[in-house]
Structure 1
Amino acid sequence: MTEPHPHSHFLLLLLPFFFIALPAASNDTTYPNCPSYKCGDVPISYPFWIIDGESTTQFCGYQGFGINCSPILIPEIRLGGDSYDVQWIFPESSKISLVDKDVLTVLPGPNPDKCPRVRHRINLESLPLNYTSHNVNLTFHFGCNECPDFATEIRCLERKSCLQIMNNGTDEEDWNEFSCTGDVVTTVIRDHINRFLPNLSTTFGDVLRLGFELEWWRMDDCDKCEESGGRCGHHNTAGFICFCSDGTTNKDHCKDSEKNVKKKVIISLCSAVFGILLMCVVFYIWRRRQNKRRSYGSSYRSRNISSFTSSMTDPEKNGAYHGVQIFKYRELEKATNYFDSRNELGDGGFGTVYEGKLKDGRVVAVKRLYENNYKRVEQFMNEVGILAHLRHRNLVSLYGCTTHHSRELLLVYEYISNGTVADHLHGEKSSPGSLKWTTRMSIAVETASALVYLHASDVVHRDVKTNNILLDNSFTVKVADFGLSRLFPNNVTHVSTAPQGTPGYVDPEYHECYQLTNKSDVYSFGVVLVELISSKPAVDITRHRHEINLSSMALSKIQNDALHELVDPHLGYDTDNEIRKMISAVAELAFQCLQNDRDSRPSMDEVLECLVAVQNGMSSNKHNMLDGTSDDAVLLNHSQDMSPDSVAAAWSTSTLSTSSG
């Protein structure tokens, strides 16, 4: 008789489960009163429901939460009589993303896509909906005599129209003298406003088309219903309803009916019988294998040990793939306490980061990538393999990730405990004078060193910012999120949704060619240098409109010989001559990094060389840039009389002359 294949044991073990699953599958109920539905890519679920055309009184969700699925599979909801497209529904966070249909409608005119006309206010009526904390109001004033300083003129609309961000301390009385004929208030996401500043007069249409968020508060808890196998519904007068699979309804959850109890008893008896038969078969096969093993002798045992050793080195069986450690989703879920919001460390364009503790005791940072953004899994794994093999003392170590077998893709990094540079400059860990200039210089040098290494490895970071520069307890830099955009699609036809950079740090040329290069990292690093000098955030909409972007403020202050107005007063710029020289040199370097023309910016190698020279006191002949006769000293003293191009040219000449000595 032929020896059974070892895998046959596993197939036999699975037999009872097939018999158990079959009766349940055959009795699946479709819940005719509340069908599950998907409109395009958007799943519609409780408390929302589909208006099916036959009846608009479905008991599937809250009154007013009915959604029409248009012929082109775009879900629509009406608020206050006006239509909005539903971009996505997030049941876990109770949020819905909407966009006003008015701003999607192509109107007559020279630039219909760039100049939408908002015609109504958002009316939530008495629905259980609220604006989220991410929203900010925009007010459009139409037919004005002129636009005030605190508003932006929109030239493409009729007569004279003005746009105001409603968080700068103004009120309606400030508009009385401008004799506007009408106004409309709408809402948008605050981050989208920051992203398109300071050109809001020409990009406001892009902001409106990105939509806004609302959140609903649940007037009931349907968890019990769903856990008991039911589906949640809502009656306008009776309140919450739980639809059960046997066709009955209940107030909170589905209790087992007599029919279901009998069914379970029968299934249990069948399972027991099959279990006994299975044990008999397994015992027979085991005894037969034992007898054969005795006849094989030592040669069999030797081959078996060799086979066992080989299987132990199999990367797939050891939880590795192309050298990347593979984590199980359930392990990371437990490590982060099921992605508890209290474990959240931050979020960005690619995903949300949570602190977690693995079974082996390691504390890690788990990045939960946003859904539907990553490329196909095989390519994703190849890219992760490249990033995981990048090793530098100033880069955060990437330990590994999950695979397509898990519910979602997660990245696992080493945990850095001391927060980000942004936290220490102007965030929750900041305090006047706490971050000394010497520490800031070390941060600049170590960050530049990491970027030089990435560029030498043909990796463009694409999102250099102080929130991605982490600090350990000894204030050593650990750059995070490097190369993540390699994992995401880069489709220039959908640049509004592609995660490319952060407002305030993005290369100005990106909006012309939609490409980020090594010189784009240089520009972003220039903004980081200005943050280190000033302790100010890269974007702040409460500042004067021409200084909302820190880069614009820095260029203006340096060109107008007003660097002292930019520098953090607690750094010793006015009291310590050496610190004053170092800050002036770093400010000049930042000025070069922030040039609009990429070719006028230095490379990261040149930036690092200059920073190391500044850190070492600029004493060598090779880097003699701070004495009274150096070109850069002249540039700093007279930059207000020169254009950025002339400054860039002079800086390049100075660099060549000093590096050749």
Structure 2
Amino acid sequence: MIPYQSALLPFLFLAAFSSILAEGCNRTCGGSSVPYPFGFSSGCPIRLNCNGTAAILRGGYPVVNITSETILLGIPANCTRPFEAALDLFGGNYAMTPRNSLFLRKCSSPSPACVISTEIISEGLHLERCGLKGDNISCYSDHTEDRYLSREKTAEIKCRLLFTSLRYSGNSTSQAELVFGEAELGWWMNGDCRCSANATCAPVNTSVAGKMGYRCTCDPGFAGDGFAAGDGCRVQVSSCSASKYISGRCARSGLLVAGIIAGALLMAGLAFLCHLFHRRRTASKSQETIERLLSEASCTIPVYSYRDIEQATDHFSDANRRGTGAYGTVYVGKLPGNTGVVAVKRIQRRDTDSLEQITNEIKLISSVSHPNLVRLLGCCMDRGEQILLYEFMPNGTLSQHLHGERGEGLSWTSRLSIAAETANAIAYLHSAVHPPIYHRDIKSSNILIDHNFGAKVADFGLSRIGMTESSHISTAPQGTPGYLDPQYHQDFHLSDKSDVYSFGVVLAEMITGMKAVDFGRAPTEVNLAALAVDRIGKGRMEEIIDPFIKVNVDEWTLVSIRKVAELAFRCLAFHKDLRPSMKEVAEELEMLRDGELDGGVEMAQEGKSRRLVLMSATKVDSPVSVQDAWLSEQSSSSTNVSMSSVNR
């Protein structure tokens, strides 16, 4: 005899372990789960995204509820959401029902449904105000005989923005309700019926012409999702009263189900214990590795737990994400007991290579100290994660400022100052550290800008300590295309002069405002190094100066740009022996910067002409002068050699 309360307990445990028992489809997000066929992995027929705490449909729409026939989404009012986002409400297994209306803005033709004043929307419904007074909002719906709205018809709407959605809630037996900011989608499964035992297959007429879907529904007396690949159907405990459990069919069913559940729970418990043991063992090894590394490097950076990092970044929320690179994603966060904001770099490729990258970066950054090198503030190797914490740079990267992704543009004096500070940091790694350190991935996106628009070099993942010549030989991909030393493809050797070449590309970016590689340019100009060498070598440097700094440029600025262009030309020489050292580059840039900051350039007015006296002239000979244009037959082998560097 099994009491009613005892028979109910296994079902509660079964619900808790349902996501573990389902093979190939992870249905758990944070502390909640979703029913099959929904889930968060590639094995789920209808895939959702998980932001750490809640389910998200493609397009960023939060999932409010899932029923046996519908998906309820939140679509908060947004004045700038592009209309194309409405197409994310249609997928291979779901579409909007006719119980919805879309509220649209910036329509080129009147909507077939209605036009509503912005004032009514914003004031009467307490939604976000958009545009000027008189800017109308159009609504669209398609109440046809079809069960779902058509994606094709929706795509034909001539509107630019999707403001929100209106959902009709109610039926003939309940009070009707209009809900703003929500949308109702119907869902189905494609293909032939694959329902479990004790389930009925119901055909679904989808929004796709000539295409039928299906859903599974458990028979009376059974509960579950009804799918053979999901949880199937089980005896519904509530259908049996406590007295019926004493004898008869209900008692036998209860015993059978309880036995099955007990076995399943035992297997799930063993699997969970194995998983927990493996995770703790891996975390322990990672912790031992990081402790050994910190001991070898003689550094005392704090080591944080994964829970601390989660709290600092609000569970790695999208709102705190700042960018994604080749090896990880960067978030901003605030650690417990720390009043300052930090940058959190979460490594994505958690394999042997990425572990080597992160341990190498910890060791190198902990061993150096320079005002223009980003500071490492801590790390985390908990729960199999690999996370680094840096000082936060509020003004993003040099790349973002040069290429119009952030701010209104940098003046030439700011660019020259950033170039000098960056060169000083790299020269410090090459000359002041013993043994020297070669960064091997110098690029504008690895130059961070602080609140005073000072430069700090970051990302030491590919850096290596200079030792023997053979120690730098590697056939594995190194560096970033467009910045990589062209001689690397010949001898697979990266040295201090490789950093000089990469920095030459950064100087070219500062002068031109162009990207290192851009397939939107002419075929001969895709590679910025080739374009810069060609124009500078022919004395036509003015053709490629960034229009932002070219407007109202004075004589000092033009001479300064020419000097930096000449320096970039020498840095981009194909043969490394023709390139200057990083120390020489830093000294030249310091003299150019001080010439402006300390009054080293004197302007004298003589009638309508202006005489320029450059007090701090450069002392380093250049293989090519950019003061006067060259004739084509004067183009020396230096230019041709440099040009070959980008064609190899």
Which residue does 1:349 correspond to in 2?
Answer: 326
Shift of 1:357: 1.1
2:589 counterpart SS class: helix
Question: Residue 426 of structure 1 aligns to which amino acid in structure 2?
Answer: H
Which residue does 1:334 correspond to in 2?
Answer: 311
Q: 2:389 aligns with which of 412, 417, 430?
A: 412
Shift of 1:46: 8.2
Distance change >3 Å, CA 557–CA 334, structure 1 → 2:
same
Q: 2:416 aligns with which of 429, 441, 444?
A: 441
2:483 touches 2:501 (CA, 8 Å); kept in 1?
yes
Which residue does 1:511 correspond to in 2?
Answer: 489
In structure 2, what is the Cα distance between the partners aligned to 1:324 and 1:384?
9
Shift of 1:464: 1.2
1:529 touches 1:586 (CA, 8 Å); kept in 2?
yes
Distance change >3 Å, CA 446–CA 248, structure 1 → 2:
closer
Which residue does 1:83 correspond to in 2?
Answer: none
Which residue does 2:455 correspond to in 1?
Answer: 477
Which residue does 1:62 correspond to in 2?
Answer: 45
1:464 touches 1:524 (CA, 8 Å); kept in 2?
yes
5+ long unaligned stretches in structure 2: 1-12, 27-35, 48-54, 60-90, 95-184, 190-201, 204-212, 218-223, 241-253, 266-289, 466-470, 602-612, 643-648
| Matching of residue 387 in structure 1 with residue 370 in structure 2 | no
1:352 counterpart SS class: strand
1:585 touches 1:626 (CA, 8 Å); kept in 2?
no
2:438 counterpart SS class: coil
In structure 2, what is the Cα distance between the partners aligned to 1:581 and 1:474?
26
Which residue does 1:168 correspond to in 2?
Answer: none
Q: 1:581 aligns with which of 550, 559, 567?
A: 559
Shift of 1:324: 2.9
2:520 counterpart SS class: coil
RMSD: 5.3
In structure 1, what is the Cα distance between the partners aligned to 2:504 and 2:553?
25
TM-score (norm 1): 0.50
In structure 2, what is the Cα distance between the partners aligned to 1:548 and 1:600?
24
In structure 2, what is the Cα distance between the partners aligned to 1:512 and 1:256?
77
- Superposition map of 1:402-551 within 5 A: 402-403=380-381, 405-431=382-408, 434-456=409-431, 457=433, 458-485=436-463, 492=474, 495=476, 498=477, 500-551=478-529
2:371 counterpart SS class: coil
Distance change >3 Å, CA 649–CA 622, structure 1 → 2:
farther
Shift of 1:328: 0.9
1:625 touches 1:631 (CA, 8 Å); kept in 2?
no
Shift of 1:442: 0.5
Shift of 1:440: 1.1
2:361 touches 2:463 (CA, 8 Å); kept in 1?
no
1:426 touches 1:537 (CA, 8 Å); kept in 2?
yes
Which residue does 1:604 correspond to in 2?
Answer: 582
Cα deviation 1:430-482 (Å, max 9, x = unaligned): 43xx4221111101100000111122332222221111111112111111113
2:437 counterpart SS class: coil
In structure 1, what is the Cα distance between the partners aligned to 2:575 and 2:239?
71
Which residue does 1:177 correspond to in 2?
Answer: none
Distance change >3 Å, CA 641–CA 323, structure 1 → 2:
farther
Shift of 1:249: 2.4
Cα deviation 1:130-182 (Å, max 9, x = unaligned): xxxxxxxxxxxxxxxxxxxxxxxxxxxxxxxxxxxxxxxxxxxxxxxxxxxxx
Which residue does 1:637 correspond to in 2?
Answer: 628
In structure 2, what is the Cα distance between the partners aligned to 1:256 and 1:470?
65
In structure 1, what is the Cα distance between the partners aligned to 2:494 and 2:239?
60
Distance change >3 Å, CA 455–CA 238, structure 1 → 2:
same
Which residue does 2:125 correspond to in 1?
Answer: none
Q: 1:367 aligns with which of 337, 345, 356?
A: 345
Shift of 1:542: 1.3
Cα deviation 1:211-249 (Å, max 9, x = unaligned): xxxxxx99699xxxxxxxxxxxx997226975999x952
2:440 touches 2:463 (CA, 8 Å); kept in 1?
yes
Q: 2:617 aligns with which of 615, 624, 632?
A: 624
Cα deviation 1:536-564 (Å, max 9, x = unaligned): 22222211111112111111111222111
Cα deviation 1:288-341 (Å, max 9, x = unaligned): xxxxxxxxxxxxxxxxxxxxxxxxxxx979x99852321111211221111112
Distance change >3 Å, CA 643–CA 350, structure 1 → 2:
farther
Shift of 1:589: 0.5
Cα deviation 1:66-92 (Å, max 9, x = unaligned): xxxxxxxxxxxxxxxxxxxxxxxxx99
1:371 touches 1:408 (CA, 8 Å); kept in 2?
no
Shift of 1:396: 0.9
- Superposition map of 1:206-355 within 5 A: 237-238=214-215, 249=232, 322-355=299-332
Cα deviation 1:75-130 (Å, max 9, x = unaligned): xxxxxxxxxxxxxxxx99989xxxxxxxxxxxxxxxxxxxxxxxxxxxxxx9579x
Deviates more, 1:570-579 or 1:392-401: 570-579
2:360 touches 2:461 (CA, 8 Å); kept in 1?
no
1:446 counterpart SS class: helix
5+ long unaligned stretches in structure 1: 1-23, 38-44, 51-58, 66-90, 96-125, 130-216, 222-233, 268-314, 651-661
